[in-house]
Chains A and B, each alone.
Chain A
Amino acid sequence: MAKKFTDEERLALAAKLDKELDDFIDGLEKRPYTEGWPEDRWQEEMEKHPFFMKKMPEAGEPLDPLMEGLQQLKYDPNENTPEELANAYKDDGNFNFKHGNYRLAIIAYTEGLKIKCENAETNATLYNNRAAAHFFLKNYRSSLHDCKWALRLKPNYRKTLGRAAKCCLETRQFDQGIEYCDLLLGGDRTPEIVRLRQTIVNERKRQEKDSRKARRGEDRKADARRELMKAIGAAGVAFEGDLRPVVPELAECAVHLNDGRLVWPVIFTYPEYQVMDFIQEFDEYDTFREHLDRVFEESPAWDAESKYKVADLHVYLESSGKLQRFDIDSKLRDVLKCKGLLVKGGTPSFIILVGNSPAELAFLSRYK
């Protein structure tokens, strides 16, 4: 039995209820609204929302929870068949690929392949697409590897064959590249492939030519070396060890033949001042005097007292602990063939002293 309200009573009740609600709301704990997007950064938040985002999150970037949820739904093995999953990853990869995110695309295709779904076509596409992504990153070896897998699953995959041929060109596996081209050209003589084959064939020819040229160079070096050895033997020079000079100043001046004459690098040492001169090219028919004239044309800084006059100089050579003196007008050729003389480090070395100076006497006394 309902009570009949008058208008006044009804208004009074409404006012009372309003007040109660207001009181209730006022009675709630006062908390600021924090879950909304801050006004100054709403665009950024919008970007994060999976419905509005304009670019894919970078690998490793924390995911928006909503995105994570959606992803779980999309990639959940319980919700999808392996083939759907593989295709989902493929679409993902393709999306990244289109936006130039080749690395992300590779990750997606790899995930797709990990599913090991049973559809050869899908797997071939995954391999092929990953090969394409690798190709754009210039990872030609990885790309070729993926092409081979794709071709194992789908032997006449034209796109893959073409890419495989290009990878072979880049990695200089010319024979195989030509095989891929020929497989393609067996079906259809696409001008692009005809040109590609031509390029590979030419590169192969060039490589063969370069290696023949290199071989010729090596042969020539070996011939020169044999000739040099023969000349040294004929000149009666005994030497020990490598013929390449150890002294950096003479490193490029190893003994060589010039017009059938041996040209040696030579060291003059001046024990009195502990300095040396490096003669880069000492023709075996030159005399010591010719080279010493050149060295002392201007008095060197270390010869402060100007004692070193060519006419006064004595030339010595030390071999097996013995000192031997040579005439300043001897030719190098005649000196080097002396018995018991051994050239070390490919560089004959002579000791130069001022004749009858105290320094010479002191030096000679060491060998008494």
Chain B
Amino acid sequence: MAEALKELVGFLHNEKRPDLQILALDSILATTGTTEGIDLILKDDVIVKNLINLLRSPSLSVKRTSASALVNLSAYGDGPGTLLGAEENSLAVVLVEGITDPDCEVADLFCMILSNITRTEDCALVVIGLIDLETIVNIVTKVKFNNKANNLHYLGVVLSNLSRHKVVRDAIVETSIQKLLPFTEFDGSVVKRGGIVGTIRNCCFDIERHGWLLSDEVDILPRLLLPLADGTEFSDDEYENMPLELQYLPNDKRREEDPDIRCMLIESITQLCTLRANREIVRSRNAYLILRELHKWEKDRKVLLACENLVDILIRTETEIGKDNIKDAEVPDDLTNVFSKMDKDFLDN
């Protein structure tokens, strides 16, 4: 098989015969269908280099096929590192160029490759050095950026991957978190919604930003709670303290359908409850009621557990908690182990 691949390389070079290039690429694409095939290709510098170079081919079919092969290659094991390392990051450069070009015809495939590559933190860091984050956020939050029917939904996943690095979170929280928040209710794509909620969740890990995130200017809480709420009716008194966005929701309001996204939303709120002043804000806005109703309805055990953890914080008084930072509460190691085991048992059952 390795020999057969070597022979294909000759055809990849021939720019005058895109038909032969495509034949060769089709074989390579087929090879990327198995893990053995992927291993073989990743070991072959020449093929990898050629695949990356062909992303700039004038022929759309050539571009599309090589991009498809790279989607498969980047999804697997060492793929991201090997691909990114080839030719001094030239892959990342081509991808970013294509994604930021409104007329790029294969931008969606490019987004998929980039979302695969940025899965590992090291590769994400390399990509961060090559992009202008503000441009990426602007593209993600634009309804229609690409003119060639690419929806760029996977760019949301890229953003989420990148936001594991603090430098990215800082930039987002300082400038554009408000633009991302409305997308917690984006119904055009679960991929994009998941990516953006993941980004927001990551941003909630920095305690020093919690005050800002909960302030009137960002007002993150309603955006996190709204996807967790359905049309359950509350009394006027109960509505009174809730964020306006959550009051009197219509009967046909549906909750976030994806359990992973529900989980991330709950985890974000849990993070925001780290410090006492912020816990008090979350309590004062009746978040508990939304979670109580969610808990009655929820079937997914992972989400149930996340929900219970949060409710547990919200229903305790500050005297009971006794610490400003809830993470300072001392739990003896043996108890930590007991709790972890209890959580695990709960999830497994």
Q: For chain B residues 8-38, which have a beta carbon within 8 Å of chain A?
A: none
B250 touches A212 (CB 8 A): yes
Interface string of A203-225 (1 = CB under 8 A from B): 00110110011011001000000
Q: Within the complex, which residue of B245, B247, B251 is in contact with A219, where a contact is CB–CB below 8 Å?
A: B251
Chain A residues whose CB sits within 8 angstroms of the CB of B244 once the complex forms: 202, 205-206, 208-209
Confirm or deny: A323 has a beta carbon within 8 angstroms of a beta carbon on chain B. no
B247 touches A209 (CB 8 A): yes
Chain B residues whose CB sits within 8 angstroms of the CB of A206 once the complex forms: 244
Chain A residues whose CB sits within 8 angstroms of the CB of B249 once the complex forms: 212
Confirm or deny: B216 has a beta carbon within 8 angstroms of a beta carbon on chain A. yes
A213 touches B217 (CB 8 A): no
In the complex where A202-B244, A208-B244 touch, is A216 in contact with B217 (Cβ < 8 A)?
A: no
The DSSP consensus for interface residues of chain A is helix
Confirm or deny: B212 has a beta carbon within 8 angstroms of a beta carbon on chain A. no
In the complex where A194-B217, A198-B216, A198-B217 touch, is A213 in contact with B245 (Cβ < 8 A)?
A: no
Residue on B with the closest CB to A220?
A: B233
A212 touches B251 (CB 8 A): no
B216 touches A216 (CB 8 A): no
Q: Within the complex, which residue of B216, B243, B250 is in contact with A215, where a contact is CB–CB below 8 Å?
A: B250
Interface string of B223-252 (1 = CB under 8 A from A): 000000000010000000001110111110
In the complex where A194-B217, A198-B216, A198-B217 touch, is A216 in contact with B245 (Cβ < 8 A)?
A: no
Q: Within the complex, which residue of A202, A213, A215 is in contact with B247, where a contact is CB–CB below 8 Å?
A: A213
Chain B residues whose CB sits within 8 angstroms of the CB of A215 once the complex forms: 248, 250
Closest beta carbon of chain A to B234's beta carbon, Å: 11
B248 touches A213 (CB 8 A): yes
B216 touches A212 (CB 8 A): no
Chain B residues whose CB sits within 8 angstroms of the CB of A205 once the complex forms: 243-245
B247 touches A212 (CB 8 A): yes
Interface string of A188-206 (1 = CB under 8 A from B): 0000001000100010011
Residue on A with the closest CB to B245?
A: A205
How far apart sit A219 and B217, CA to CA, in the bound complex (Å)? 34
Chain A residues whose CB sits within 8 angstroms of the CB of B243 once the complex forms: 205
Closest beta carbon of chain A to B250's beta carbon, Å: 6
How far apart sit A202 and B248, CA to CA, in the bound complex (Å)? 16
How far apart sit A135 and B208, CA to CA, in the bound complex (Å)? 42
Which of A194, A206, A209 has the most chain B CB within a 10 Å cutoff?
A209
Residue on B with the closest CB to A216?
A: B248
B248 touches A209 (CB 8 A): yes
Which of B233, B243, B248 has the most chain A CB within a 10 Å cutoff?
B248
How far apart sit A206 and B243, CA to CA, in the bound complex (Å)? 10
Chain A residues whose CB sits within 8 angstroms of the CB of B233 once the complex forms: 216
Closest beta carbon of chain A to B104's beta carbon, Å: 27
Closest beta carbon of chain A to B55's beta carbon, Å: 34
How far apart sit A215 and B249, CA to CA, in the bound complex (Å)? 10
Q: For chain A residues 177-197, which have a beta carbon within 8 Å of chain B?
A: 194
Closest beta carbon of chain A to B41's beta carbon, Å: 47
Q: For chain B residues 274-303, which have a beta carbon within 8 Å of chain A?
A: none
How far apart sit A194 and B212, CA to CA, in the bound complex (Å)? 14
Residue on A with the closest CB to B219?
A: A201
Which of A202, A212, A219 has the most chain B CB within a 10 Å cutoff?
A212
Closest beta carbon of chain A to B189's beta carbon, Å: 24
Those 4 A-B pairs whose CB atoms lie nearest each other, nearest first: A205-B244, A212-B248, A213-B248, A209-B244
Give the interface of B toward A (CB within 8 A). Answer: 216-217, 233, 243-245, 247-251
Between A and B, 15 residue pairs with Cβ closer than 8 Å are A194-B217, A198-B216, A202-B244, A205-B243, A205-B244, A205-B245, A206-B244, A212-B247, A212-B248, A212-B249, A212-B250, A213-B247, A215-B248, A216-B248, A216-B251
